[in-house]
Structure 1
Amino acid sequence: MKRISKISLVMLCMLEFTACEKQLELSPLGQLDDTTFYQTESDFEAASLSAYSTLINFYFDQSGSIWDEVMLYPSDEVARGQNPNDRNDFNWNANDAQFFNLWRESYKGIQRANVIIDALPKASNFEDEERKVQFEAEAKFVRAYLHFLLATNFGNAPVSMASISTLEGANKPMSDPGEIWDVVISDLKFAQENLPATWESTNTGRVTSGAATAMLGKVYLYRAQWDNNTALYADAVRELSAVVNSGQYSLVPTFSDNFDISKENNVESLFEIQFSRGDFNTWLPVDFGAAANENIGFAGTNRSVVWRPACGPTGLCAPKANGHGYGNMHVLEPLRNAFEPGDPRIQDTYYRAGDPYFDEPYNPLWSFSGATPSKYVRLSDVTEESSPPNFDLNNQRVIRYADVLLMLAEAILLGNNDVAGAAALINQVRRRADPTGTILPDHPADVSQDQMFDWLMHERRVELALEGYRYSDLVRWHRADLIDIKTDVDFGSEAANQAWNERHLLKPIPQRDLDLNEALRQNDGY
């Protein structure tokens, strides 16, 4: 993307609800408000990145990002080691700070997108009026993605379809059943129809029509199961097939290529969160600066400090780990047992005994569970000399073509009972992992639908492990009566297994918002 000037940072603040002067100290750039700024292509070029930049916030923070704490920990994949929290054991409550952070950052990004969408019709100094549609499509994709996160985590969360300028306007009620799904689908259809298929290299990372189509297919698949509406499987098949048939995407030759920092934005990646180091960051800086704002201009994940420094509960830590991180992320036995013996994807999912780890073989005693994540971090660029410290700049892959293949397999299997078609798609993913087929042989097509669905669930689990989708998969399958989480899932903890109940299909609405907004209502069971 193009270098972003200081005016972009000013716009980042203008789109915030909070006092941005605490984060930035900039020289006066003249009077900027919604009547003088939103007029030209360059104005919206800057403003459009503010919506994208919100997505960075889900992955930042040395002490634990929203994505780790809300999407990864409450599952049967990983758990905290040091400083365990109640989220692992499903002791969820409305005062949980990370649930609130997910809620807050989602609505922050939606507000930023709405400001852009509302301002576009009034902009009078565009040299190319057609670019207005492109900016609107980008903003609507971000708005749809964030509403989708709210729907799948909080249920009938409020819908926000216009910029908020008053306190009264912020006090929105819970949405009607199905309403939030409707607006997600509407926004994604607009994005699909009005985004380019590709961007020039200077705009790498901006959302494309292919990403919008894949996301739309995912939404139809999820909604089919959330609403128990099997007719929606046909819509999912249509959209996901369009991605496959476009010829624009394919599986990269090696599974590890998906998580190699030197191979970001490759042919398998439809959309990823962009991170960078330096005085320029693709999507503007993260909203959280350190003292004196030295993090402004940087954006990275917390993987190097939370995932990588393996450290056991007794203080037995990997060499060089002490002082470099927390060792919070530990891979649970149920996930490790899910892999078929010898699956080549294991080394790019978690460290095993003897695997290279810094300068020494990995020792399972460095983890309370016996394993530490290797996905992303094994092929990252973090070193002791990295600056700023504890920043992993490996992009987060949000939509991968392998995921598209597996979602399409699921949709045709459950919607059309196409067992053979599902087998062919699942086997594509397996063959990439093991081209010889000796370790991961093809699944035969002459089996029952139930057997193929079991294989589909297995393949999603091992292919997409630690990417943040496991618990969402479990919830949607439970809602569709395809599994029973209470009896079919081992969370790797007796406390978690005993505590899980139906209320955990949704997160609690944050208490601080309930206290401020009487139009909200708490989800059942909290």
Structure 2
Amino acid sequence: MKKLLIASSSLLFFTLIFTMCKRQLDLKPLGELTEQTFYQTEGDFEAASLSPYATLLTYYFDQMGNGWYQPVLWPDDDVTVRSNGNDDIEDFNWLPGNGNFTSMWQTSYKGVQRANVILEQLPKAEKFADVSKKVRFEAEAKFMRAYFNFVLAVNWGTPPLVTSTVKSVDQTRLPNSQPGEIWDLIVADLTFAKQNLPATWNSANTGRATSGSASGLLGRVLLYRAQWENKPALYTAADAEFTSIISSNRYNLRPNFADNFALATENNSESLFEIQFALGRGNNWFPNEDGGGSGTGRYIMWRAACEQGICADGANAVGYGFMHAVKPLQDAFEPNDPRRVQTIFREGDPFPSTATPIFKAAWSVTGSTPSKYVLGDKTGNEINGQPNMGVNNERVLRYADILLMSAECKILGPTMDLAGAAALINRVRRRADPTGNILADRPATASKDQMFKFLMQERRVELAFEGHRYNDLVRWHRAGLINIKTDINFGRTPANNNWNVRNLLKPIPQRELDLNNNLKQNPGY
């Protein structure tokens, strides 16, 4: 099976390369696997269906954070760069030539292409013992296509919409999609996926998307769209997805907040979807295309290193110290909030090192670095003995986020339910502090404006470093709920000074514009 999985991954990769060629080479296949011979049986599609998942690994692989951590986390008001560096992404000097944006764009379209290959080949398959099983592969591919298109939509607004495999150079020269067009496809794909994916998988298929994954992502999409497009009715539609997840009793908050970021408690009952990391060929989602395994560069990016001439144990071997928690995030935690020590290190906190087991503020330009995932990644002094490679899964969608998004819909939707919103926010707070002695319940009698402030604060401290914060700021700005320029402190003067409305979207990569004269740049770039 492993050989079959690897062969199918290679086949899909080379299919993408060859279909991009302008000239069609009249050569006989050098191997036995072709589009005509491979995409036939259920086993073929079991293997092929994993190729879009494998693309997710490429976002995270680079140990410098290129492709995901830098373009996703630098813009938010949670982290800043080390003291001896200036970063164009962090400081909102966004240029079309930025390699991080290009990497995210290309990886996303590679994922779309791989999903489209499956969707085109599935109707042609003639050797299924049970043709009714085709619908599950269709649902899985549509979930993955929606995931990649969502990344494209929230980052670039109206990127080209690709609904079929690219077979010629001319087909790569697509114009920008029309406003709302890519969102329509995302909603349609996720609706199909939630109706046709299983609720659970067996242990051999851990990590595959479920109906809950699709419903949760669909709810997020509808919430974003309600705010991006000023469509209040979509709050109701979004909350219907969240409510169905909550009432299913399939998921629950883990008693220990830290379980969501520990290697030993991956894929737990709070998780709706995770990106599965593992070293080498041990990952069911295949080795990463970059050739170095299927881990994440998170640990080397986040772990404390050297500042002010003082170095943390293992600096520049198991940690470069590229990300530091800004003062506004540090101050966002209520006094003694139990989540704080599981999210950021501060002076005197336990640190994952046998040589220096206490965190020193002097290691950080802000006095603090992320502890989320870092504490849960460690095995001894490194991660599984692999210095520059993390294997702790990325939690993409978890139940606490579902509860808070549902609360947001109840605050902002046409049928306001502030008491219901307070109850959901308090569930998240009570998990962090079961006794309620530290984090008092939010009052159901609070005003709409005050309840929304409670919601914003709770999302910030509960979901810090999980890749949602800048998207939250953008959608709230678009909805007129905040003004990023005046209301947000990025913890760094250049970022505060440079942020502009153009930064609601990222610049379309210059390389794409050079190759495609039908593509138009986003405003302001």
- What's the TM-score bracket when you normalise by the shorter of the two chains? over 0.9
Q: May I ask how many residue pairs the two structures share in their alignment?
A: 511
Match of 2:331 in 1: 337
The 5-angstrom pairing of residues 2-151 of structure 1 reads: 5-17=5-17, 30-81=31-82, 82-151=84-153
Match of 2:376 in 1: 379
- Over aligned residue pairs, what C-alpha RMSD do you find? 1.8
The 5-angstrom pairing of residues 227-246 of structure 1 reads: 227-246=229-248
Match of 1:300 in 2: 295
Decide which moves more: 489-498 or 3-12: 3-12
Instruction: Report the CA distance shift for 1:94/1:88 in structure 2 as closer, same or farther (over 3 A).
Output: same
Which residue identity lines up with residue 307 of structure 1 in the other structure?
Answer: W
| Residue 320 of structure 1, CA deviation | 2.0
Gap runs ≥5 in structure 2: 21-28
| Residue 12 of structure 1, CA deviation | 4.3
Distance in 2, matches of 1:493 and 1:524, equals 25
Distance in 2, matches of 1:35 and 1:11, equals 12
Deviations 1:69-112 (A, max 9, x none): 11111111001215431111101010000011111000000000
Match of 1:316 in 2: 310
| Residue 132 of structure 1, CA deviation | 1.1
Match of 2:422 in 1: 423
Which residue identity lines up with residue 13 of structure 2 in the other structure?
Answer: C
Instruction: Report the CA distance shift for 1:19/1:137 in structure 2 as closer, same or farther (over 3 A).
Output: closer
| Residue 309 of structure 1, CA deviation | 3.7
Contact persistence 2:97–2:509 (CA under 8 A): yes
Distance in 1, matches of 2:100 and 2:182, equals 22
| Residue 2 of structure 1, CA deviation | 7.5
Provide TM-score, normalisation by structure 1.
0.94
Which residue identity lines up with residue 73 of structure 2 in the other structure?
Answer: L
Contact persistence 1:38–1:119 (CA under 8 A): yes
Amino-acid identity (%) = 55
Give the counterpart of 2:404 among 403, 406, 409.
406
Contact persistence 2:418–2:451 (CA under 8 A): yes
| Residue 388 of structure 1, CA deviation | 4.3
Contact persistence 1:310–1:317 (CA under 8 A): yes
Decide which moves more: 125-134 or 103-112: 125-134
Match of 1:434 in 2: 433
Distance in 2, matches of 1:344 and 1:334, equals 18
Deviations 1:193-216 (A, max 9, x none): 110011111111000001100111
Give the counterpart of 2:389 among 373, 391, 394.
391
Give the counterpart of 2:319 among 317, 325, 333.
325
Instruction: Report the CA distance shift for 1:387/1:131 in structure 2 as closer, same or farther (over 3 A).
Output: farther
Distance in 2, matches of 1:15 and 1:476, equals 37
Contact persistence 1:189–1:216 (CA under 8 A): yes
Distance in 2, matches of 1:371 and 1:418, equals 38
Distance in 2, matches of 1:35 and 1:387, equals 43
- Any idea what SS the aligned residue of 2:341 has? helix
Contact persistence 2:303–2:318 (CA under 8 A): no
- Any idea what SS the aligned residue of 2:249 has? coil
Distance in 1, matches of 2:500 and 2:212, equals 37
Distance in 2, matches of 1:2 and 1:323, equals 32
- Any idea what SS the aligned residue of 2:116 has? helix
| Residue 278 of structure 1, CA deviation | 4.2
The 5-angstrom pairing of residues 193-232 of structure 1 reads: 193-232=195-234
Gap runs ≥5 in structure 1: 21-27, 290-294
| Residue 379 of structure 1, CA deviation | 1.0
Distance in 1, matches of 2:419 and 2:178, equals 39
Which residue identity lines up with residue 180 of structure 2 in the other structure?
Answer: G
Contact persistence 2:5–2:286 (CA under 8 A): no
Distance in 2, matches of 1:413 and 1:328, equals 37
Contact persistence 2:226–2:233 (CA under 8 A): yes
The 5-angstrom pairing of residues 463-478 of structure 1 reads: 463-478=462-477
Distance in 1, matches of 2:217 and 2:439, equals 29
| Residue 131 of structure 1, CA deviation | 1.9
Contact persistence 1:152–1:506 (CA under 8 A): yes
Decide which moves more: 177-186 or 319-328: 319-328
Contact persistence 1:220–1:235 (CA under 8 A): yes
Deviations 1:460-493 (A, max 9, x none): 0000000010000000000000001111000011
Distance in 2, matches of 1:274 and 1:370, equals 32
Provide TM-score, normalisation by structure 2.
0.94
